Amino acid sequence: MFQKGITAKNIFILFALLVVVGSVFFSRYLSNRLAIVEKRKVEIWARSQSYLSKSNGNDQEALALGIFISASNNDIPIIETDEHDKTTGNFKNLDSQSVKNDTQYLQRKLETFRRENKPIVVQIQAHPLLENKYYYGESRLQRQLRYFPLAQSLVLVLFFVFILMVQRARNRNTQNLLWVGMAKETAHQLGTPLSSLEGWVELLKEYPENAAIIPELQKDLNRLMLISDRFGKIGSSPVLEQKDIVPQIDEMAAYMRRRAGGKITITCQYEQPNFYVNISPPLFDWVIENLLKNALDAMNGKGAIHLRVKQDDKNIVIDIADTGKGIAHDQFAKVFEPGFTTKKRGWGLGLALTKRIVEEYHQGKIFVHASEVGKGTTFRIVLRRVE
C-alpha cells in the first residue's frame, strides 16, 4: 500500500522525469566524448592532407597516406580555408551537387562550422607565413546522439498521454456504470410502492366520498410513474421518435408555471410553428424540466424565464434564459459535473444527467451560452433537425 498522497501516477511521472534527465546527461556525456574523438580525427586528417600535398605523387608513402585520409573520415564535414580565412575550394563530406549549383552553399556551411567548432590550423612548412584552416561540423552520429533525448522525451510524453487517455476512459466507464446502476436501482425500488399505490387508488375510487381527492392522487401517481420510467430508460438505448418539440416544451412550461408561484413568469417564443427532431419524448421532457427547475432555483421566488426555439440550416437551437443569480465564467463547464451544486440541499446531479441525456442519447450539445453574475443565465441546447 502507498502512503497517503503518493499514487501510482505520481511514481510514474517521477520515474519518467528521472529517465529523461538521466538520458539527457548521459547523451550529453557521450556527445562530448564523441566530439573529442572527432576533433582528433580532423586534426589527423588535416595534417595528413598537408603532408600529402608536399609529397611526390609517385611516392608509395604518399599513396598509403592518401588511402588513410580517405578511409579515416567518411562522416565529418570539413571545409579548408587559407590564412585569410577564405575558402580554397577544398571540402570533405559535403553535397558536391549543392556546392556546384549554389555559389553561397559553401560559405553558409563555413559560417555554421565557425559557430560550432574552432578550426584546426596547419602551418605550411615551405611558407612559414602561410597556413591552412580546417573548419568542421557535426557528424551524422553526433547529431543523432544529440537529438536522441528529445526523441526519447517525445516517446515518454506520448506514452504518458496514452496512459492518461486510458485512465480517463476507465474513469468515464466507471462513472457510466455508476449512473446506470443508480438509475436502474432507483426505478426498481420505486416499482413496488408504485404498484401498491395504484392498488390503493383503485380501492379509493370505490367510495364516492373520495371523488374530490382521486384526481390529485392520480396526478401524483402518474408523475411518480413517469419518474420511474425515466430512470428505467437510463443505460438503455432510447427509442427515438420524430416529434414536434413545440407541444412538448409548451406542456413542460405549463407544468412548471403551476409550481413557480405568481412572481415568476415563464414565456415561450417560437420562430416558426413546428420544429421536428428525433427525440425520446420522456427523456426530452426530463431535460426541459431539469433546466426549468434549475432556473427557478436561481431566482429565489421572483423573476422571468424565457424559452426561445429557432433553427439554422442543420440544427434546432433551444435557449432557456432566466433572470437569476448567474454563473461565474470559470464555472461554465463545472456546472455539468456530478456533485456540483450551489444549493444547500441536493446531490448536484440534475445538470449532469441533463448533459448525458442530450449528448449521449440524442447526439446533441448543451452548454452555458451566456451568463452574468447577478443578471441571469442562458442555457443552450443544439439538436439535429429533421429535414
- Helix (H), strand (E), coil (C) string for 216-270: HHHHHHHHHHHHHHHHHHCCCCCCCEEEEHHHHHHHHHHHHHHHHCCCEEEEEEE
- For 162, other C-beta atoms within 10 Å of its C-beta total 10
Task: Give CA–CA dist 91/78, Å, rounded.
Answer: 5
What is the b/e burial string over 296-306, where b = at least 16 CB atoms within 10 angstroms of the residue's CB? bbbbeeebbbb
Is the Cβ–Cβ distance between 99 and 105 less than 8 Å?
yes
Q: Which fold has domain 238-384?
A: Heat Shock Protein 90 (3.30.565)
Highest mean pLDDT among 73-82, 239-248, 258-267: 239-248
Give the C-alpha distances (Å, rounded to integers) separating 317 from 312, 378, 379. Answer: 8, 12, 10
pLDDT exceeds cutoff 90 at 310: yes
Asked whether the predicted pLDDT for residue 199 surpasses 90, the reply is no
CA separation, residue 326 to residues 285, 291, 319, 321 (Å) = 24, 14, 15, 10
Instruction: State which of 76-80, 84-88, 310-314 shows the largest mean pLDDT.
Output: 310-314
Q: Lowest mean pLDDT of 4-13, 117-126, 184-193, 284-293, name the range.
A: 4-13
Out of 6-10, 98-102, 170-174, give the one with best mean pLDDT. 98-102
Q: Span 33-57, mean pLDDT?
A: 65
Closest CA to 16 of 201, 140, 157: 157
Report helix angle 140-204 to 214-233, nearest 10: 160
- What pLDDT digit, counting tens, does each position of 314-346 carry? 899 999 999 988 888 888 878 887 665 655 544
Of all residues in the chain, what percent carry a pLDDT higher than 70?
A: 73
pLDDT for res 54: 59
Which pLDDT score, from 0 to 100, does residue 247 have? 94
Which of residues 201 and 67 earns the better pLDDT score?
201
Residue 250 scores a pLDDT above 90: yes
% of the chain beyond a pLDDT of 90: 16
The whole-number pLDDT of residue 332 equals 83
Q: pLDDT by residue (tens digit) across 114-163?
A: 888 888 887 766 666 677 888 888 777 777 777 777 777 777 778 778 87
The DSSP secondary-structure symbol of 88 reads E
**Domain ranges (residues) in the chain:** 8-138, 167-236, 238-384
What is the rounded CA–CA span in Å between residue 164 and residue 141? 34
